[in-house]
Each structure stands twice: as structure tokens, then as C-alpha cells.
Structure 1
Amino acid sequence: MAPRTRRVEITDRARIVLRRMIEQHGAVLFHQSGVDRDGSAPRCLPIREARIGGADVLLGTLPWHTEFWVGAEQYERWKHAHLTLDVLDGRGCSAETPEDTRFVIKSRLLTDEEAAALADGGPPRTGADRLA
């Protein structure tokens, strides 16, 4: 059986920071609205503070059932991309991260095989699906 194609992955260092975020804040999710000027800084929010809109798109799930959501406009820019969540040194505009780090996105184009596998899986879930 072939491994499942994923649109979002996470580096080992980001996985460690994510775990610490969950320990500190409880369950979290990521949201990228597309308003960041370079499009690379997702917000990490405690679930109780997160607001997912009906047009937002679920790109994938990270460890510990952590969802990664993007706004509809950002999805249009990234629908042909594979994303990797990483961390860099320095503060960002998310929930307080440990060790003076911030989450960032690195992207590459999906391969033809990845794009076909994702298309076979049907359309991604949206915030409207989440609210139903």
C-alpha cells in the first residue's frame, strides 16, 4: 500500500515546539489567512480562541490532531503546493512560543503524482463542513 499523500508536513524541530505549545496552551490549530506580506507566517492559536470561517480550507492535520487551515484566497495560491511547517528563531504573531521561536512555512510545488493523489481524494474540507 502506498503512503498517503499529504499536503502539509512538519520538521522535527517544529514538532518539538508544537508539543511544547500544546503542553502550555492546550490543543492548538494553525491558520494562515494570507494577509502576511510574505505568506510564510501561520498563526498558531489555542483552539478556544480560533475562528474558522466557512470559506477557510483545511490543508491537513499535523501531530496531536493539530489542524492546519488557510483562508480561501491563500488556498488558491497554495493549492498546487506542498507545505512544510518549520520554526525560526525570533518572535512571530502567534500564541506565545517557547524558546523565542516562530513558525514559518516552506513550500514547493506538488509533484504530478502528489497532485493526482490529492485530486483523487476529493475536495478538501472547508470551514462550512466543520460547522455542519
Structure 2
Amino acid sequence: MTQALEAAVTLPGEDFSRVALTAAALELLRKLRRRHGPLMFHQSGGCCDGSAPMCYPEGEFTTGDSDVLLGVFEIDGGAPDGGDVPGESWSLEFWMSREQFNYWSHTHLTVDVVDGRGSGFSVEAPEGKRFLIRSSLMDWPVHGP
């Protein structure tokens, strides 16, 4: 599993990324953005033991004080035949419920893609693919929001 893109740091006092995307996740996100417009991720603890992040059209899932913004990805436009404009980038936020963050605060998350049908609420479900979190323990000091 190769990380293709690290998210920008969003938590106060931190200088390291907590979340990344694989190349396969980037490819699927570009396809989904063409179909659904701007996107966002939300990770809760309620589904699949928290291993399946949900991808929604941006703003379709309302975040609030019970959520933590773990990172923001700046994604380039991709291949010219993909419909995006090369060189143009777009932002994708990755949110996590505060309760889930309390459990996963010492892990680095990588969003990957696997075959199979995920949640009916996540926009990749009809593609026969699903997003999946792969986690690894971080070996640097971490702070909580």
C-alpha cells in the first residue's frame, strides 16, 4: 500500500499529517467528483468498527462540535481525459467523530479502496468499490483537540 497524498495538518499544535490517500483512492475520488461534485469524508465509530469512512457530496453530512477535522487534501485535477482540468486542484475534508478520534488518536489513517459494496450512504457504493481505513500507530507525540 503506497500513500499517494498526505492531508494538510488541521489540528492546532500539530505539525504532522494524520491521514493519507492511496493512489487507488485518489483515482476513485476523481471519478466520484466528476459525478457528484465536491466531496467530503466522515469517519464515525458506528459502522464496521469505524474502518469504513463515508464519502458524501460536500455539505450533505453536517459536521459540528462532536466532529474533528483531521485533514484537508488538495487534489490535483488528474488526467486530461478524466474530465478534470490538469493543474486545477480541489479540496476534500476528512472529518472524524470526536468520540472515534479519542480511540484512534495515536494512529495514522490511510484511505484505501477495495472491491466490494460498501454502505449505501457512501457515494462509491454503486461502483462496486468501497473505501477502507488502514491504520498504523504513530511513533511521535500526539495531541488531542
Instruction: Give identity over the alignment, percent.
Output: 47
Shift of 1:98: 6.1
Task: Report the structure, 1 or 2, having the larger helix content.
Answer: 1
Measured in 1, the distance between the counterparts of 2:117 and 2:51 equals 14
Q: TM-score normalized by structure 2?
A: 0.72
- Any conservation in 1 of the 2:51–2:133 contact (CA below 8 Å)? yes
Matched, 1:81 2:107: yes
RMSD: 1.7
Tell me which amino acid in the other structure corresponds to 1:60: G
Matched, 1:15 2:26: yes
Measured in 1, the distance between the counterparts of 2:124 and 2:49 equals 21
Task: Report the structure, 1 or 2, having the larger strand content.
Answer: 2
- Any conservation in 1 of the 2:111–2:132 contact (CA below 8 Å)? yes
- Any conservation in 1 of the 2:68–2:95 contact (CA below 8 Å)? yes
- Structure 1: which 4+ aligned runs deviate by more than 6 Å? none
Name the count of aligned residue pairs: 114
Q: 5 Å matches for 1:109-120?
A: 109-112=137-140, 115=141, 119=143
Q: Which runs of 5+ in 1 are unaligned?
A: 125-132
Q: TM-score normalized by structure 1?
A: 0.78
The equivalent residue for 1:51 is 62
Q: Which runs of 5+ in 2 are unaligned?
A: 1-14, 76-89
Shift of 1:21: 0.9
SS where residue 49 of structure 1 aligns? Answer: coil
